[in-house]
Amino acid sequence: MKKLKTSAIVAAGLALAIGGAAQAQDFPERPINLVVPFNAGGGTDLLIRGFAPHFAEALDGDVFVSNTAGGGGTIAAGALAGQRPDGYQLGYFSITVSTIQPQINDVPYGLDSWSPICSVAASPTVLFTSESSPYTSIEEAVEAIRAAPSTLLYGSSGPGAITHLTAVAAFKGLGVIDDVRHLPFQGSGPALQGIAAGTIQFFGDTEILMQGGGLRPLVVFNSERLASMRDVPTATEIGIEPPLNELYLWGGFFAPAGTPPEVVETLSNACGEAIASDGFQAFAEKTNTVLNYRNAADFDAFYRAQYKANGAIIEAAGL
């Protein structure tokens, strides 16, 4: 009887050891959870739900999407940070969730809480005015702001959102930040209503917004002019200096810090394969998503550089 017990323990130990060794090789052996930090049905949720099947195929495993909403994405990130770093839970975080929120709010995660896996999407931002507004160029807008300080307003979808930072980067970079006022809305929809009604004069977001009509782009926060708006200058061209001259709404997958390198590599490669797949490319075209894949190493470097650069915009925004 005693012998049997001993051998059972040995067998169990052996099984564990084999299991441990197999973990790195056979990853994933369980379904992987992609955490969307917003409610179901939003743009991010849609993107990840479109991505999940292609990711599962590339991994040759199961993938499911879950939603944890609240706090502009920080509730989900806070819950994921410090979880077991086994690669079975990945959060999809944007520039704001991963680099802005930890610098302006007391959230339970920071720069070093993550093992970045891959970036998925990145769109340059654009500052808009209404199509019916008298300003046909950024120079005219700046002139008008200088001529009547503190009368013109820029809107945002909320404090610290990319829409807020775009306007701040523009007006701080042009030296008129103290002469325009900020009117935060609850989301982009109400802000767009504000610009249509003339309540606000300026609003910054990605170029996708242009397709809705009614807007006139003034300046692009990209390294070069955009194909869809050839006449619109880049921020650098109108004299906005780094790090305020480029601003992208990007997002990617993060695992809790300490995820084994071989697991990160498997995930990162599968992510790249999924993004390159015909199915996901077609999906991205339909949803006007600008795909931008970076592997784990590149994304890690990009993420750290962004974290630092965005500190300057946050300071300018007074957040």
Residue 158 touches other proteins, criterion: CB under 8 A: yes
DSSP character for 96?
I
Question: Least distance from C-beta 110 to other proteins, angstroms?
Answer: 13
Crossing angle between the packed helical segments 296-317 and 162-173, to the nearest 10 degrees: 60
Alpha-helical runs (H) found in 123-181:
138-147, 162-173
Closest CA to 47 of 253, 264, 303, 299: 253
Does 110 bind other proteins (CB under 8 A)? Our answer is: no
- Residue 48 belongs to what H/E stretch? helix 43-59
CA 27 to CA 25: how far, in whole Å?
6
Say if residue 134 is preceded by a cis peptide, omega within 30 of 0. Answer: no
Q: Does 211 bind other proteins (CB under 8 A)?
A: yes
Taking CB under 8 A as the criterion, the residue among 24, 111, 196, 226 binding other proteins is 196
Q: Does 228 bind other proteins (CB under 8 A)?
A: no
Which of the 8 DSSP states describes residue 45? H
The reply to whether 319 sits near other proteins by the rule CB under 8 A is yes
Nearest CA-CA partner of 128 in 197, 193, 220: 220
* Contact window for other proteins (CB under 8 A) among 44-52, 169-177, 239-247, 255-263: 44-52
CA distance 265 to 45: 24
What whole-number distance in Å separates Cα of residue 163 and Cα of residue 173?
Answer: 16
Q: Does 192 bind other proteins (CB under 8 A)?
A: yes
Taking the complex as a whole, how short is the minimal distance between the CB of residue 319 and other proteins, in angstroms? 7
Assess 287 for contact with other proteins (CB under 8 A).
yes
Q: Does 297 bind other proteins (CB under 8 A)?
A: no
Residue with Cβ nearer other proteins (196 or 312): 196
* Member of 212, 227, 230, 241 binding other proteins (CB under 8 A): 212
286 contacts other proteins (rule: CB under 8 A):
yes
Residue 193 engages other proteins in binding (rule: CB under 8 A): yes
The secondary structure of 89-148, three-state, reads EEEEEEHHHHHHHHHHCCCCCCHHHEEEEEEEEEEEEEEEEECCCCCCCHHHHHHHHHHC
Is residue 217 at the binding interface for other proteins, with CB under 8 A as the rule?
no
Task: Work out whether 149 is an interface residue with other proteins (CB under 8 A).
Answer: no
Quick check: 20 binds other proteins (CB under 8 A)?
Answer: no
The residue ranges that bind other proteins (CB under 8 A) are 39-43, 45-46, 49, 66-72, 74-75, 78-79, 104-108, 150, 153, 158-160, 181-187, 189-190, 192-194, 196-197, 199, 211-214, 286-288, 319
